[in-house]
Structure 1
């Protein structure tokens, strides 16, 4: 059923609909006609209110979970509310301060991304999600530092100041001289290029025998290329924090839905694809329940916003996921503000 435009609802139907949705989002419980009549916010008798509620139910905007219960919004009703009635509430000064303080914390970008995901979870009461940017930084320097006879530390320094450390298992018979030779060879071919670009050319050079490396040096470089390739492929595309917050009191009455949601979150590749669909959005996008195939069974909502680097290029998406009764008016601006703050952190 396609829900009607908000303009087609009468003023009293729109007012009652708004009160039902706001009440449900506030406490997760259906709202009844008696509660509306005694709230002092509706100048109608309980019988008149029940008549309006019945009309809204017939329009597919509200539903009654039990015969004697009040009404709660359907997914169609939530969409109509979000698009046509909801008034955004900007993050409070306290929330803005917490977000901005987190972004000022020093450390590598990966640490900032994990902290951002946890921050979103804490502020929203849902699970926080951050897509990891696909790094294609250019390499300024590489060093191979021996740790012992069988291992070396590989230090990659990017032109943007980003530093990555990886431990490499050394092939049999590699000496300190071989390490130095391999360092010089790789650095000469990496400088100013991405790891993917340099790796492709080094593999081709080694395969054709055009390199001056000896056998030990070639085996060392090939081992390093294998580690770097595997490391890049194994990097998480998504950081999720706060799954435990999905297990609130209301979840205990619908444990199958929560189990389905947590199972979905384990499939990070598909979750990342959903978030990726928000890349072109100017601000936060809202996916409610069955509007996204991945979370249709768990009946969950996703609020996602893209974040940009210092050049204004979208490099990732962040957001939250939780039950459809999320406080959209508060969480949507908070996700937007966090996305902008993370963008400033990336510079």
Structure 2
């Protein structure tokens, strides 16, 4: 899904409107405050009176690109205005040498990739004053052991042990009562025959042996194993692996006046599921993506933006996403190249 474009192309604005629109957006992104016509006139970059500037700003407001918080205030860009600015006017350069050096220093260790991913979030959080995000490649769980514990006549608890020592439980609903001997038989089979395999490998082997009738499992035990593996596999596929660092950066003096917005954003970060789905959209692209405020349902209330870029493995396959989340009033021109450079660094480290 591509973020919706602004309803106007930058070419639809004349030179005067473009200049004034740019100054309003740049001033708002720098200060967070609505911009008045007198402020633009006093900046001296345009040879126009406040009245002339005010007239153009009213026209831009009529186009839905600017808005006035209340009648006596200046103007600030709307979501559509920010999208138009980001897509059509913003000039993005390479990150400066200092930023590159900091990112390289934090990601340049010889430790495991997991450490580099965590370091990437810390680097981006510190440099952007936002929360850093990394969507981590999903690792396939590897079976070590499975056992089944009866809970009732129609329920059993599958206890799954991974090769990394992780232990997870899943409740399985039974279509009919299963004797204790079938529970033991199912657990023994998994431990003896499927240990050391990933979930897809275990499912394929079980399916092949059942079809070829090479195993003597009774129907109840084979159904139990099949459903246990399927349940674990589905849960693993749905569970986001998301690293978040620097969420405290989202709570600043400006945010304190809108605590409900901040609470909604922090709840989204805590649950991780919706944020991971949003970042997942970036996996389909080739470049950095920008999601601005209410363009995405997740941020319709929290008023936040995400800048994210995919990173790849040695086979040039996208395996994850790195980025930042912060208020709509971000320094997009500075942060976009920062995120892009971090994604390039991670791509060099992922094998």
Length-normalised TM-score, structure 2: 0.75
Does the CA contact (< 8 Å) of 1:264 and 1:295 recur in 2? Answer: no
Secondary structure at the aligned position of 1:133 is classed as coil
Over 3 Å counting, the alpha-carbon distance change for 1:230 and 1:106 in structure 2 is farther
Q: Which residue of structure 2 aligns with residue 333 of structure 1?
A: 337
Secondary structure at the aligned position of 2:298 is classed as coil
**Could you tell me which of 106, 119, 126 is aligned with 2:123?**
119
Does the CA contact (< 8 Å) of 2:265 and 2:302 recur in 1? Answer: yes
Does the CA contact (< 8 Å) of 1:3 and 1:77 recur in 2? Answer: no
Q: Which moved more, 1:300-309 or 1:97-106?
A: 97-106
Task: Note the C-alpha offset of 1:202.
Answer: 7.0
Secondary structure at the aligned position of 1:294 is classed as helix
Over 3 Å counting, the alpha-carbon distance change for 1:295 and 1:345 in structure 2 is same
Task: Note the C-alpha offset of 1:129.
Answer: 1.0
Task: Note the C-alpha offset of 1:32.
Answer: 1.1
Secondary structure at the aligned position of 2:257 is classed as helix
Over 3 Å counting, the alpha-carbon distance change for 1:233 and 1:88 in structure 2 is closer
> C-alpha distance in 2, partners of 1:27/1:246?
16
**Could you tell me which of 23, 26, 29 is aligned with 2:30?**
26
Q: Which residue of structure 2 aligns with residue 275 of structure 1?
A: 279
Show structure 1 runs of 4+ deviating over 3 A.
184-187, 193-196, 198-206, 208-211, 228-236
Task: Note the C-alpha offset of 1:12.
Answer: 1.1
Secondary structure at the aligned position of 2:297 is classed as coil
Task: Note the C-alpha offset of 1:26.
Answer: 0.8
User: In angstroms, what is the RMSD of aligned CA positions?
Assistant: 3.6
> C-alpha distance in 1, partners of 2:167/2:242?
25
Q: Which residue of structure 2 aligns with residue 166 of structure 1?
A: 165
Q: Which residue of structure 2 aligns with residue 179 of structure 1?
A: none
2:349 corresponds to 1:342: no
Task: Note the C-alpha offset of 1:111.
Answer: 2.2
Task: Note the C-alpha offset of 1:107.
Answer: 2.1
Does the CA contact (< 8 Å) of 2:293 and 2:299 recur in 1? Answer: yes
Does the CA contact (< 8 Å) of 2:64 and 2:78 recur in 1? Answer: yes
2:306 corresponds to 1:307: no
CA distances 1:279-318 after superposition (whole Å, capped 9, x unpaired)? 1211111111111111111121111111100110011112
Secondary structure at the aligned position of 1:166 is classed as coil
> C-alpha distance in 2, partners of 1:291/1:233?
27
Q: Which residue of structure 1 aligns with residue 256 of structure 2?
A: 252
Q: Which residue of structure 2 aligns with residue 177 of structure 1?
A: none
2:7 corresponds to 1:3: yes
Length-normalised TM-score, structure 1: 0.76
